[in-house]
Amino acid sequence: MINESMNYIIEGRLKRRRRFIFMTSMLVLIAFALSCTMLMLGNTIYHAWDVVRVLLGEDVKGASFAVGTLRLPRMLAGVFSGFAFGVGGYIFQTMLRNPLANPNVIGITAGSSAAAVFCIIVLQASNIVVSIASIFGGLVTVFIIFLLSKGTSFSIGRLILIGIGIQAMLNAVISYLLLIGKTHDIPAAMRWLSGSLNGAKMENLYPLIITVVILAPIIIALGKRLDMLELGEQAATSLGIDTNKTRIVLVICSVLIIALATATTGPIAFVAFLAGPIAKRLVGVGFSSIIPAGLVGIILVLASDLIGQFAFVARYPVGVITGILGAPYLIYLLIRFNRKGDL
């Protein structure tokens, strides 16, 4: 009887492992295919071999400029921002055990956006200053939200409601900045606020790329602890997890990558909101969904950008397409949580 139970447990774990490996591999292949498609498609369609030659450093007439200068930075911006938004959203949703507790809904992205818009319109600052201000704005917003939601006891529902209120206030600040801004600064700010990969340049991507490359291994290494936090405070502590230190490290890492992604591409709507739930549904339970969530984030951004560029007569920023995808899901969650009394 015991042997049968053990065999059943082992077989179930092997099935979950195979499902995780298969679905993660499929996500990698889809993300790679979309990346290649972004490099080949445009006003002129280039053969895959021409793209490879450009990436290898050869000078290919026409393709070198279109692929190397325009499409490659755009693709990389989509890949690294999508990964950052996907992982950052998954961390908050898992850590706080609520799909609504993501950077878009609770105001963290709005904090980064308000700081960045202030630098663009009022200070007319450089991209480096905008990136630093975006990080600082995100961190300050996180601190304020957690401080106000603490009360006599920590409440996830209270945190979400306070975050939504902070987001509304920050959006009002952004609207005011747009009203007082100079005419020639407004288009740049509006383009940035819509969430767009347009005008991406390699020199502006390095801070995001370096930050993601450095922090991603740290976040992945803390994946098991993050999953234990989802079990609750007491359960995680009983398993030997220092919950406070783990939360601090995860929050700082996620806010840094989200803030830098926001500073690079603008607040691409709902990617952080959708990536985690989609990844969990695809790979199942039993393994950390950090990497799958990042891959889903990449796929959402790249696919939405391709749709925005080529599916309609007019071209739309990526944030418009992701907003169309994410808004119905947000409404559904709000209705469901309201019926359950969780908010």
pLDDT of residue 84: 93
Cα separation, 69 vs 60, in Å, equals: 13
Residue 188's pLDDT band, with cuts at 50, 70 and 90, is confident
Whether residue 131 is predicted with pLDDT greater than 80 in this model: the reply is no
Cα separation, 190 vs 206, in Å, equals: 23
pLDDT of residue 155: 64
Write out pLDDT tens, residues 222-248.
888 887 777 766 776 776 777 778 878
* CATH T-level topology, domain 21-340: ABC transporter involved in vitamin B12 uptake, BtuC (1.10.3470)
pLDDT of residue 301: 93
Quickly tell me which residue has 């704005």 as its tokens.
137
Residue type at position 310:
F
Average pLDDT over residues 56-79: 84
Give the start-end residues of each E strand in the chain: none
Cα separation, 209 vs 314, in Å, equals: 30
The rounded mean pLDDT for the chain is 81
Whether residue 342 is predicted with pLDDT greater than 70 in this model: the reply is no
pLDDT of residue 34: 94
pLDDT of residue 116: 83
pLDDT of residue 11: 67
Residue 338's pLDDT band, with cuts at 50, 70 and 90, is low
Residue type at position 182:
K
Write out pLDDT tens, residues 2-48.
565 666 566 667 777 888 889 999 999 999 999 999 988 878 888 88
Quick one: CA dihedral 208, 210, 213, 218, positive or negative?
Answer: negative
pLDDT of residue 256: 85
Write out pLDDT tens, residues 278-298.
888 888 777 778 899 999 999
Task: Report the greatest alpha carbon distance in the chain.
Answer: 77
Whether residue 273 is predicted with pLDDT greater than 90 in this model: the reply is no
Residue from 273, 251, 266 nearest 86 by CA: 273
Residue type at position 187:
P
Measured from the Cβ of residue 331, the count of other Cβ atoms closer than 10 Å reads 10
Q: What one-character DSSP code corresponds to residue 287? A: S
